[in-house]
Amino acid sequence: MFTGIITDMGEVASVEERGALRRLRIVCAYPPEGIALGASIACSGPCLTVVAVGQTGQRTFFEIDAAAETLARTTAAQWSVGTKINLERALKIGDELGGHIVTGHVDGLAKIVSREDFDGMARFSIEAPHDLARFIAPKGSVTLDGVSLTVNEVDGDRFSVLIIPHTLSVTTIGARRTGDAFNLEVDLMARYAARLTQTGSPA
């Protein structure tokens, strides 16, 4: 479980094809003793399992395996050496819940329709897959590339978010442009509410 508050921006150091799996090494600023084998780390949205950890020079690295489902449903298939990755380690009991409840299970890809920069901020207009758009509401929460954000406006399958200077500087969102894709996770509460509406209240 995660909050969508990014705690480091890592970088892909190597990519190795292993049949249906893709092994990725990501360098980061986390101390190596703080990453356990088998731990879950949200990598620009998808929750991935650490299969190796160590140090290269002064930097920590960890490795993850992206399976066929992850490669098909997320931007992981496009990651290459040098790609920047938003990182968040799994919550521990007592951690601050600063964003919203995020599972790390990406629902689909959302496309940037436009970007408007002003006063150090950026407003993005984003198009969600039609079957996911119903879970997105004004003032609700959404996760884009692992970042917890508040939805401003919704118009059909499109919605907008306003990104403050701090978020632009400490996440990969600052480099995103029109036509790019985001890993999209809709709000868990919205999904459950829609399911209850669909099935009806229990007697």
Confidence of residue 203 (pLDDT cuts 50, 70, 90): very low
**Percentage of residues of the chain with pLDDT beyond 70:** 92
Domains 8-89 and 108-198 share a fold: yes
Question: At residue 202, does pLDDT exceed 60?
Answer: no
User: What does the alpha-carbon distance between residue 198 and residue 126 come to, in Å, rounded to a whole number?
Assistant: 26
CA angle 37, 38, 42 (to 5 degrees): 110
Quick: pLDDT tens for 121-159: 999 999 999 999 999 999 999 999 999 999 999 999 999
pLDDT band at residue 187 using 50, 70 and 90 as cut-offs: confident
Q: Report the pLDDT value the prediction gives residue 193, as an integer from 0 to 100.
A: 72
Strand-pair partners of 28: 60
Please name the residue ranges forming H helices in 16-157. 68-73, 130-133
Please give the C-alpha separations between residue 32 and each of 48, 58, 116, in angstroms, as whole numbers. Answer: 17, 11, 39
For the chain, give the mean pLDDT: 92
* In the chain, where the domains are located: 8-89, 108-198
User: Contact at 8 Å (CB) between 73 and 181?
Assistant: no
According to CATH, the topology of domain 108-198 is Elongation Factor Tu (Ef-tu); domain 3 (2.40.30)
User: What's the pLDDT score for residue 96?
Assistant: 67
pLDDT tens string 34-78: 999 999 999 999 999 999 999 988 889 999 999 999 999 999 999
DSSP 151-189: EEEEETTEEEEEE-HHHHHHSGGGG--TT-EEEEEE-HH
Kindly give the pairing relationship between strand 121-127 and strand 147-155. Answer: unpaired
Tokens 């059909």 label which residue?
A: 156
Per CATH, is 8-89 categorized as 2.120.10.30?
Answer: no
* Residue 117, φ and ψ in degrees, nearest 5: -100, 135
pTM score: 0.91
In sequence order, the 6+-apart residues with CB closer than 8 A to the CB of 167 are 147, 173, 174
pLDDT for the residue 200: 60
Residue 69: HSE in the Cβ half-sphere, 13 Å Cα cutoff? 6
